Amino acid sequence: MRFVVDPAIATKIARMKERVRWQHPAWKEAGVDQTCLEIVDRITEENQTTAENNQDFSFLVVGDSGTSRHVRDSPQRRVTKRLLQHSSECDFILHTGDVVYLVGSSEQYPDNFIKPYREFLVGGKESHKIRFDQMVFKLPFLPVLGNHDYYDLPLVSGILSKALTPIRKLLRRRINFDVGWHGSYQGEGFARAFLDFAEPLSPRQLKAHLQAHYTAKKGTGYCLRYVPGEFTRLPNRYYTFRKNGIDFFALDSNTFNAPQPLPPTEEGFALREKIEKQRDELDEQMRSLALESATLNTDIPEQSGRSARIYAKMEQIDEQLQDIDKQLNASLENTTVDTEQLDWLRDRLIASWQDPTAKGRVLYFHHPPYVTESTKWFQGQTLAVRVHLREVLDDVQREIKEYTRPLVDLVLSGHAHCFEYLKTLETGHGDRTIPWIVCGGSGFSLRRQRKEGAVLEEFGEPVAKCHLFMGREGHGSKTRRPYTALRVDVKYGGQAGDSQAGETESSPDNRPQFVLRTLVAERFDSKWKSYELDPIVL
Which of 44-48, 70-74, 231-235, 522-526 tops mean pLDDT?
231-235
Q: Classify residue 386 by burial, with Cβ atoms within 10 Å: 0-12, 13-18, 19+.
A: buried
Do 495 and 347 share a structural domain? yes
The amino acid that residue 82 corresponds to is R
Amino acid at 520: V
pLDDT band at 323 (very low <50, low <70, confident <90, very high): confident
Residue 404's pLDDT band (cuts 50, 70, 90): confident
* pLDDT given for residue 70 in this prediction: 56
If asked whether residues 307 and 449 sit together in one domain, one would say no
Query: How confident is the model over 90-112, as a mean pLDDT?
Result: 94
**Within this chain, do residues 476 and 341 fall inside the same structural domain, yes or no?**
yes
Q: Is 438 helix (H, G, I), strand (E, B) or coil?
A: strand
State how far the Cα of 347 lies from the Cα of 155, in Å rounded to an integer: 41
**Average pLDDT in the 169-195 region?**
73
The pLDDT assigned to 272 comes to: 77
Which of 36-45, 136-145, 200-209 has maximum average pLDDT? 136-145
Verify that 220 and 140 share a domain, yes or no: yes
Min mean pLDDT across 170-174, 248-252, 321-325, 429-433 is at 170-174
Lowest mean pLDDT among 284-288, 409-413, 516-520: 284-288
Q: Same domain, yes or no, for 280 and 372?
A: no
Q: pLDDT tier at 282 (50, 70, 90 boundaries)?
A: confident
Among 410-414, 421-425, 509-513, whose mean pLDDT is lowest? 509-513
Alpha-carbon gap, residue 518 to 480, rounded angstroms: 16
155 band by pLDDT with thresholds 50, 70 and 90:
low
Does residue 192 have a pLDDT over 60? yes
Residue 403 placed within a domain: yes
Contacts of 286 (CB under 8 A, 6+ apart): 1, 314, 317, 318, 321
Residue 15 has pLDDT above 60, yes or no: yes
Asked, for residue 99, whether it belongs to a domain, the answer is: yes
The reply to whether the predicted model has a pTM over 0.95 is no
279 compared with 409, residue with greater pLDDT:
409
Q: Which residues pair with 410 in a beta bridge?
A: 362
C-beta atoms surrounding 30 within 10 Å: 14
With a CB cutoff of 8 Å and minimum separation 6, the contacts of 342 are 256, 388, 391, 392
Residue 336: predicted pLDDT: 86
Question: In this model, does residue 160 exceed pLDDT 50?
Answer: no
Same domain, 247 and 271: no
Q: Is 506 part of a structural domain of the chain? A: yes
**pLDDT at res. 478:** 86
User: Do 383 and 253 sit in the same domain of this protein?
Assistant: yes
450-502 pLDDT tens trace: 999 999 999 899 999 999 999 999 988 788 999 999 999 999 975 444 434 33
> Cα separations (Å) of 419 from 373, 393, 517?
9, 24, 12
Domain shared by 358 and 445, yes or no: yes
Whether residues 223 and 310 fall in one domain: no
What pLDDT sits at residue 165? Answer: 42
The Cα 409–Cα 106 span in angstroms is: 35
412 close to 378: Cβ distance less than 8 angstroms: no
Structural domain includes residue 162: yes
Report percent pLDDT > 90 for the chain. Answer: 66
Taking 60 as the threshold, does the pLDDT of residue 43 lie above it? no
535 domain residue, yes or no:
no
Q: Quick one: 139 and 189 in the same domain?
A: yes
- Is 105 contained in some domain? yes
**245 within some domain:** yes
Number of domains in the chain: 2
Q: What residue numbers bound the domain in which 283 lies?
A: 266-318
Give yes or no: residues 178 and 280 share one domain: no
From the list 508, 384, 340, 368, the residue with the least C-alpha distance to 435 is 368
Residue 530 covered by a domain: no
What is the mean pLDDT of the segment spanning 112-120? 96
Which residues lie across from 101 on neighbouring strands? none
The answer on 355 and 231 residing in a single domain is yes
Integer Cα distance of 485 and 38 in angstroms: 25
Name the average pLDDT for the chain: 86
Q: Which of 154-168, 332-346, 361-375, 514-528 has the lowest mean pLDDT?
A: 154-168
Can you tell me the mean pLDDT for 366-377?
95
Residue 142's beta-bridge partner residues?
Answer: 94
Q: What is the CATH number of the domain that holds 423?
A: 3.60.21.10
pLDDT band at 159 (very low <50, low <70, confident <90, very high): very low
Confidence of residue 331 (pLDDT cuts 50, 70, 90): low
pLDDT at 223: 96
Residue 173 pLDDT level (bands cut at 50, 70, 90): very low
SS3 category, 364: strand
